[in-house]
């Protein structure tokens, strides 16, 4: 089944403890991106990747890192999480930058 | 910067009614517009994608239109059912490299279909 898989689905962590949210797609998509969804603010892009080893900042990149070493995987790294990064995170992929986007099931992160 | 607005923010209709959800965007430099459905605590499910050169797309009881020149899209749902209850999001995909070709989302329309 074609899908975007994120893990974990839920995570509660403490301020400053490094964490990684994984994202994997099995559709051979070139373009991948991360969004966060917050009440009243909607979905905002954090980082995106046009292809392997090509990544760039989105609208709200502060406090996040990404890597794209393989085409299928695009992990989101929070080196020192803070409470303002408590949010619902989504990974998305598309074949190209101008084609249909598919989203993962989301990761609900709480930083205390 | 692209601004996407969805009206109404919430809508309650009795089962069987036809309904229209509205989406407007300020920057016509888009590749496409995509409609999603989001159920509480769940991910985004893609409903319809309209490329910027297209005017309309249909899937089952759903029909989406796009008027790029006026910056508007509508999602028409025919014969609504309780299972259609969800939040509907529209997203305009920027064709501007400075924006990272991001999907710019509206804040959604929360739909409740009552039996």
Query: How confident is the model over B69-112, as pLDDT tens digits?
Result: 999 999 999 999 999 999 999 999 988 877 778 899 999 999 99
Q: How far is B35 from chain A (nearest CA, A)?
A: 10
Cβ pair B31:A100 closer than 8 A: no
Q: How far is A80 from chain B (nearest CA, A)?
A: 25
Q: How far is B66 from chain A (nearest CA, A)?
A: 16
> Chain A residues contacting B, CB < 8 Å?
31, 33, 35, 40, 42-43, 45, 48, 56-59, 90, 92, 97-106, 108
How many other β-carbons are positioned within 10 Å of the β-carbon of residue A44?
18
Structure tokens at A9: 């689905």
Q: What is the rounded average pLDDT for all residues in chain B? A: 95
> What is the chain B residue with the closest CA to A108?
B41
Burial A4-25 (b: 16+ CB within 10 A, else e): bebeeeebebeeeeebebebbb
pLDDT at A69: 97
Q: Do B54 and B67 meet the contact criterion of CB atoms below 8 Å apart?
A: no
- Residue position matching structure tokens 């939040």: B87
Is B48's pLDDT higher than 90?
A: yes
* Cβ contacts of A2-5, under 8 Å, gap ≥ 24: A2/A26, A2/A27, A2/A102, A3/A27, A3/A102, A3/A104, A4/A91, A4/A92, A4/A93, A4/A102, A4/A103, A4/A104, A5/A104, A5/A105
Positive or negative CA dihedral for B62, B66, B71, B72? negative
pLDDT at B42: 84
Is B49's pLDDT higher than 90?
A: yes
Cβ pair A98:B32 closer than 8 A: yes
Query: CA-to-CA distance for B6 and B20, rounded, in angstroms?
Result: 11
pLDDT at A64: 98
B67: confidence class by pLDDT, cuts 50, 70, 90: very high
Express each pLDDT in A58-77 by its tens digit: 999 999 999 999 999 999 99
Q: For chain A, which ranges sit under pLDDT 50?
A: none
**B108 contacts: CB under 8 Å, gap ≥ 6:** A42, B6, B9, B38, B87, B88, B89
Q: Which residues of B touch A3 (CB under 8 A)?
A: none
């Amino acid at each position: 089944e074609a899908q975007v898989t994120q893990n974990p689905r839920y995570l509660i962590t403490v301020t400053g403890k490094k964490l990684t949210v994984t994202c994997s797609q099995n559709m051979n998509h070139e373009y991948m991106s991360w969004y966060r969804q917050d009440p009243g603010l909607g979905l905002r892009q954090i980082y995106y990747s046009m292809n392997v080893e090509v990544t760039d900042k989105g609208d709200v990149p502060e406090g996040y890192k990404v890597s794209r070493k393989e085409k299928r995987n695009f992990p989101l790294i929070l080196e020192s999480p803070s409470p303002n990064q408590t949010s619902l995170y989504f990974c998305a992929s598309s074949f190209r930058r101008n084609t249909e986007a598919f989203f993962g099931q989301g990761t609900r992160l709480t930083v205390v | 910067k692209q601004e996407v607005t969805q009206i109404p923010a919430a809508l309650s209709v009795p089962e069987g009614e036809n309904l229209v959800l509205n989406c407007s965007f300020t920057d016509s430099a888009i590749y496409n517009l995509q409609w999603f459905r989001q159920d509480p605590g769940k991910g985004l499910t893609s409903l319809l994608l309209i490329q910027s050169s297209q005017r309309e797309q249909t899937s089952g009881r759903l029909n989406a239109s796009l008027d790029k020149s006026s910056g508007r899209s509508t999602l028409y749902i025919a014969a609504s059912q309780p299972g259609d209850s969800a939040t509907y999001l529209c997203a305009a995909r920027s064709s501007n490299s400075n924006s990272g070709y991001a999907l710019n989302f509206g804040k959604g329309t929360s739909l409740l279909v009552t039996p």
